[in-house]
């Protein structure tokens, strides 16, 4: 139960952060990517704020043996730069530029239930399901 409550609270805090930062707005994200046009550097400040708190925390946690509610930490084990990583990231970036939403803001804005958000999210879930089997 504690694990479920923690999941819910972190999802809420994450979603609040997205809403406050303006990242739920596709136009704002696309403007970050539009260096040659109506550039809006806000997205860099969102990443900066997130990394500013997460980086010291991740380093401090290296001293912990295990997390509070689990037996061990679950970190990615791969270290090589493979084709799958770079191809996937490249394809993701194209969709991100075309639509202006990445998975977090997309799922979060499903709650706002506009037709545009719902079409994007439905297509995204299909894409995820395909990649999960690929």
Partner 1 sequence: METSFTPLTSFAGGILIGSAAIMLYAGLGRIAGISGIASRLLPPSGSARDRGWEAAFIIGLVAAPLLYQVLTGGPILQTFTAGLPLLAVAGLLVGFGSVYGNGCTSGHGVCGISRLSVRSIAATLTFMATGFITVFVLRHLIGG
77 binds partner 1 (CB under 8 A): no
> How far is Cα 33 from Cα 92, in angstroms, rounded to an integer?
14
What minimum distance in Å lies between the beta carbon of 60 and partner 1? 9
What token pair was written down for 44? 């860099």
Cβ neighbourhood burial of 120 (10 Å; 0-12, 13-18, 19+): buried
Nearest CA among 14, 73, 90 for reference residue 49: 14
First-residue to last-residue Cα distance in the chain: 33
Kindly determine how many residues on this chain lie close enough to bind partner 1 according to the rule CB under 8 A: 115
CB-based contact 101:109 (threshold 8 Å): yes
38 binds partner 1 (CB under 8 A): yes
What minimum distance in Å lies between the beta carbon of 119 and partner 1? 5
63 binds partner 1 (CB under 8 A): no
What minimum distance in Å lies between the beta carbon of 83 and partner 1? 10
Nearest CA among 119, 87, 105, 115 for reference residue 29: 105
65 binds partner 1 (CB under 8 A): no
What minimum distance in Å lies between the beta carbon of 76 and partner 1? 7
27 binds partner 1 (CB under 8 A): yes
90 binds partner 1 (CB under 8 A): yes
Site for partner 1 in 114-133 (CB under 8 A): 114-117, 119-133
């Amino acid at each position: 139960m504690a694990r479920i409550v923690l999941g819910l609270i972190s999802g809420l805090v994450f979603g609040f952060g997205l809403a406050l930062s303006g990242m739920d707005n596709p136009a704002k994200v696309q403007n970050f990517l539009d260096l040659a046009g109506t550039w809006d550097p806000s997205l860099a400040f969102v990443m900066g704020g997130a990394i500013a708190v997460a980086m010291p925390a991740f380093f401090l946690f290296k001293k912990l043996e295990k997390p509070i509610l689990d037996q061990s930490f679950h970190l990615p084990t791969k270290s090589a730069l493979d084709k799958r990583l770079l191809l996937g990231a490249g394809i993701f970036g194209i969709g991100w530029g075309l639509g202006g939403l990445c998975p977090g803001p997309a799922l979060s804005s499903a709650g706002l239930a506009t037709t545009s958000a719902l079409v994007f999210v439905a297509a995204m879930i299909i894409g995820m399901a395909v990649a999960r089997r690929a």
